[in-house]
């Protein structure tokens, strides 16, 4: 995934707008970056909150911002709960 060219000053200003109680600095940076690349996240949406938390965790592990957000989005799309596979118990059977 190629990183879009994002101005650091614009990123810092956007992160400042997102930073508030309940949003960590790293989450604010992810939210700001998502806005600047035209794919905003809504932390009140369950799926977007999951992406935000995973991207934050990847950032803390040292992954770059673009890769962290892309990986978090990809993991959400490809994840399936363990109870939904072909071997999952069916209702009424045990």
**Average pLDDT estimate for 78-85:** 72
Q: Is residue 56 part of a domain?
A: yes
Q: Which pLDDT does position 54 carry in this prediction?
A: 96
Q: Is residue 91 part of a domain?
A: no
Higher per-residue confidence, 62 vs 86: 62
State the average pLDDT for the chain.
Answer: 86
Q: Is residue 2 part of a domain?
A: no
Q: Is residue 60 part of a domain?
A: yes
> Which residue range(s) make up the domain with 64?
8-77
Q: Is residue 89 part of a domain?
A: no
* Candidate from 27-36, 44-53, 71-80 with smallest mean pLDDT: 71-80
pTM greater than the 0.75 cutoff? yes
User: No. of H helices and E strands in the chain?
Assistant: 4, 0
Q: Is residue 3 part of a domain?
A: no
Higher per-residue confidence, 4 vs 15: 15
Instruction: Report the domain count for the chain.
Output: 1
Q: Which pLDDT does position 75 carry in this prediction?
A: 92
Per residue in 19-41, is it b (16+ CB within 10 Å) or e — as a string? eeeebeebbbbbbbbbbbeeeeb
Distance CA 88, CA 53 (A): 28
* Percent of the chain at pLDDT exceeding 90: 60
Q: Is residue 33 part of a domain?
A: yes
Q: Is residue 83 part of a domain?
A: no
């Amino acid at each position: 995934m190629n990183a879009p060219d994002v101005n650091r000053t614009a990123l810092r200003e956007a992160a400042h707008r997102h930073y508030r109680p309940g949003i960590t600095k790293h989450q604010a940076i992810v939210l700001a970056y998502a806005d600047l690349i035209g794919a905003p996240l809504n932390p009140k949406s369950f799926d977007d909150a999951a992406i935000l938390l995973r991207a934050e965790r990847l950032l803390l592990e040292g992954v770059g911002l673009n890769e962290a957000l892309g990986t978090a989005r990809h993991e959400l799309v490809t994840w399936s709960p363990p109870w939904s596979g072909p071997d999952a118990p069916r209702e009424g059977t045990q």
